[in-house]
Amino acid sequence: MPSDTKPRWERRKDARPQELLAAALDLFVDRGYAATRLEDVARRAGVSKGTLYLYFDNKEELFKAVVRQNIVEVIGKAESDVAAADSTSCTDLLRAMLRRWWADVASTRASGLAKLMVAEAGNFPEIARFYNEEVIERGSALITSIVQRGVERGEFVPVDAVVMTRVLTAPVTMLMLWAHSFEPCCGGVDAEAFMETYLGLVERGMARPA
């Protein structure tokens, strides 16, 4: 049998975990959590289902690994950068962090995971708790720390940093959800123009008057 007609899993038994995670991300985003089957992930990655089980015990662990690789790692790097940027103005730091979130998560394939969580969190409380703890709470805490630092330094007007964090994250979250729901039928949004308008509004609204 010619090699190009063999099943993909026969030709690529040594597929790395990264290939499994990439296949899983695509299927979770396209089909949702409930409809994604492990055998389909294995087939998409070009391996047998047994090979997938060498790395992941079940679908929940596979999903967590996808989220950690595509989102949690980004948050971890951002946390390190914020901790090391003590002399950077909080306005610049906030802009940089919101821009990074857009570039590294919200404008990528991984942004579809947000829609998945909104749609299926109620049916899968375990993954909802995981996503809330490792993505929402951790990412929110990072933004809150920047806002609080800016208030304490007199760069920002006095605000409740926790409430302001929710205000700051809502527009970007909505843009992510639009891209994976209404955009295919109703048209897209100019994301670059949206982000610049949004960031300009944030900076003007939070700047403390001279």
How far is CA 129 from each of CA 8, 57, 69, 91, 170, rounded to the nearest angstrom?
36, 19, 18, 31, 19
* pTM listed for this prediction: 0.87
Helix, strand, coil shares, percent, the chain, to 5:
75, 0, 25
- Compute and round to an integer the Cα radius of gyration of the chain: 20
Q: Is 70 helix (H, G, I), strand (E, B) or coil?
A: helix
Contact 206, 143 (CB under 8 A): no
pLDDT at 43 over 80: yes
Indicate whether 51 and 148 sit together in one domain: no
Q: Please tell me the least confidently modeled range out of 107-111, 166-170, 206-210.
A: 206-210
| Residue 99 parent element (H or E) | helix 90-101
Q: Who contacts 41 (Cβ-Cβ below 8 Å, separation ≥6)?
A: 20, 23, 24, 27, 52, 62
Q: Which domain holds residue 52?
A: 7-56
- Residue range 15-29: mean pLDDT, rounded: 92
Instruction: Report if residue 2 sits inside a domain.
Output: no
Instruction: Work out how many domains the chain is built from and give that number.
Output: 2
CATH classification of the domain holding 11: 1.10.10.60
Predicted pLDDT at 109: 93
Q: Which two tokens stand for residue 82?
A: 């914020």
Look at residue 61 and tell me if it is in a domain: no
- Do 77 and 35 lie in one domain? The reply is no
pLDDT band, residue 15 (cuts 50/70/90) = low
In this predicted model, which residue has the larger pLDDT, 137 or 86? 137
Q: For residue 48, is it within any domain?
A: yes
Least confident range from 19-23, 74-78, 138-142, 189-193: namely: 189-193
